[in-house]
Amino acid sequence: MCIVAIAWQLFDELPLVLLSNRDEFLQRPTEPLHQWSDQPIYAGRDKQSGGTWLGIHQQVSPAQSAEYHQQNGRWAAVLNFRDGVQASSDERSRGALVTEFLTGILSPMDFARQIDLQDYAGFNLIIGDAAQAVIVNNRGHAPTPLYAGLHVISNGQPEDSWFKTERLRGRLRQEVLPLIAEDSSPAYWQAAAFNVLSDSTKAPEDKLPVTGVAFEVEQMLSSVYIEPVAFGDTKTSKPTYGTRTQSILTLSKDSREVSALTAHIVSREYPHSVAGE
């Protein structure tokens, strides 16, 4: 189901700080964060459909050693949209939206405007580069530039106020953003960010959104971090679903060149993420 928080243009040294939890069925085959050999992408990879949920443009320079990477500042993340509408077999993978943007040349806004929205199951897509960030979905939210500030998005409309989005927003404002303001070096604040992403507090009944799914399922999915749960299989209590990957993506100013930005991702994979693979 997933949740993404974006601090956009809040810090001079880190114009982008993106935090992400990827929630997924544990049996879905997935490759962890790595440099793709077939495309200029640095990301985890969904082995079932070939796309990704979060990544940056990056490629190994053929003229340099394998340790030298070229970037163009493009980044992207996609989340599904929870409205009770089941995906059909003829719809394209939402992960392809991320890979196509990362490997393309269109600006974030131009890319968002040319998407064939009905080709995909419900999604929220956030795409950007060093200059612009744009959010779009195929549930009525037209391509819109992100304003400077903190944005927290899950599986509803970007402006929806869910328990999990507001809890993450509040903890980031209190526990993480002040640390980045003090010292933007990753070692100073990333442990606190991962701690906030690991919040498993579930919503009380009166704080649950209405998205077309059963109450029990909605409460199961209401925390920022979803602990492994039996979901989608009533015949077993064996965990089948949960938060599989936590990631932090940043754009930072390159100290060697004032006008350049460097993209970086760090991720944590959970042991249960490889169950059944």
Q: pLDDT for 61-110, tens place per residue? A: 766 555 678 999 999 999 999 876 666 667 899 999 999 999 999 999 99
Per-residue model confidence (pLDDT) at position 275: 40
- At 271 the pLDDT is 65
**Can you read off the two tokens belonging to residue 68?**
């030298």
User: Contact 211/156 with Cβ under 8 angstroms?
Assistant: yes
Distance of alpha carbon 31 from alpha carbon 162, whole angstroms = 30
Is-contact 226 220, C-beta < 8 A? yes
Question: CA–CA separation, 209 vs 109, rounded Å?
Answer: 30
Cα(264)–Cα(250) distance, rounded to whole angstroms? 5
Q: What is the pLDDT of residue 108?
A: 98
Angle between helices 186-197 and 163-171 (to 10 degrees): 150
Assess contact for 235 and 252: CB atoms under 8 A.
no
pLDDT the model gives residue 259:
55
Query: CATH number for the domain including 73?
Result: 3.60.60
Q: Which residues pair with 21 in a beta bridge?
A: 3, 246
Pairwise CA distance, residues 21 & 1, whole Å: 9
How many whole angstroms separate alpha carbon 34 and alpha carbon 28?
Answer: 18
Q: Which tokens belong to 52?
A: 């990704």
Q: Which of 93, 52, 58 is nearest to 76 (CA)?
A: 52
User: Tell me, what's the pLDDT at 134?
Assistant: 98
- How is residue 149 annotated by DSSP? E
Report the SS3 class of residue 137. Answer: strand
Q: What is the H or E stretch that residue 220 is in?
A: helix 215-220
Q: Running DSSP on this structure, what letter comes out for residue 202?
A: P
What is the reported pLDDT for 87? 64
Structure tokens at 184: 């933007």
Domain boundaries, position 122? 3-274
Question: Using CA atoms, how far apart are residues 252 and 232, in angstroms rounded to an integer?
Answer: 40
CB atoms within 10 A of CB 153: 24
- Here the tokens at position 110 are 């131009």
The count of structural domains within the chain is 1
**Spans in the chain with pLDDT lower than 70:** 1, 62-67, 84-89, 232-236, 254-259, 271-277
- Residue 80 to residue 140: CA distance in whole angstroms: 14
CA atoms within 13 A of residue 260's CA, in its CB half-sphere: 9
